[in-house]
Amino acid sequence: MDAGLTGRFRTPWGEGGITVRHGHLVGVELPPAVPGAEAGGPDVDLIDRRALGRWADELEAYFRGERLAWTEADLSLDELDAGTFQRAVYSALLTVSPGMTVSYGTLAEMAGYPRAARAVGNAMAANPVPIVIPCHRVIRSDGNLGDYGTDPTWKERLLEHERRFAGQGRRDG
């Protein structure tokens, strides 16, 4: 499989990494664990170069507070190598407003799988495009933020960032 084209975007906390393939976003990595960006060669598809620039701009706009959400129309879930369940969960999560949170159980219900809260947790852990598919908005039913990749401080940081710009609160308990 084509690995895609990688690049970087700026956040207030350092540079992040993005990967696009066939003109679609397929990976987002938050700082500090970001591999070096690859410039690509002459065979790199022009569509990927344009998509890379577009996604870098959009992620930087997120961190400036100018764009806080994406929809399925913005992102091809089929390009993410996700199964039917994961795509349903990601699709439902894209409807959760910036700054709002939803429990794993509620997200399972929203996706049409009301008894699959633990599986939703696995889907969040496997999310290849954090921020764009906002897994940071999913919390435990007791209100605890829970884990977030290798650096759990990102979840709180992203929610605070969104709340500052969106001025919203919590969706469910």
The residues that are catalytic are: 135
Backbone phi, then psi, for 77, in 5-degree steps?
-65, -30
Provide the residue type at 105 as one letter: G
**What tokens were used for 30?**
């938050």
Angle of CA points 14, 16, 18, to nearest 5°:
165
**What tokens were used for 93?**
């999560």
d(CA 152, CA 157): 9
d(CA 146, CA 157): 13
* All residues at 6 or more sequence positions from 103 whose CB lies less than 8 Å from its CB, including other chains: 117, 138, 139, 140, 141, 172, 173
Dihedral sign (CA 143, 69, 85, 30): negative
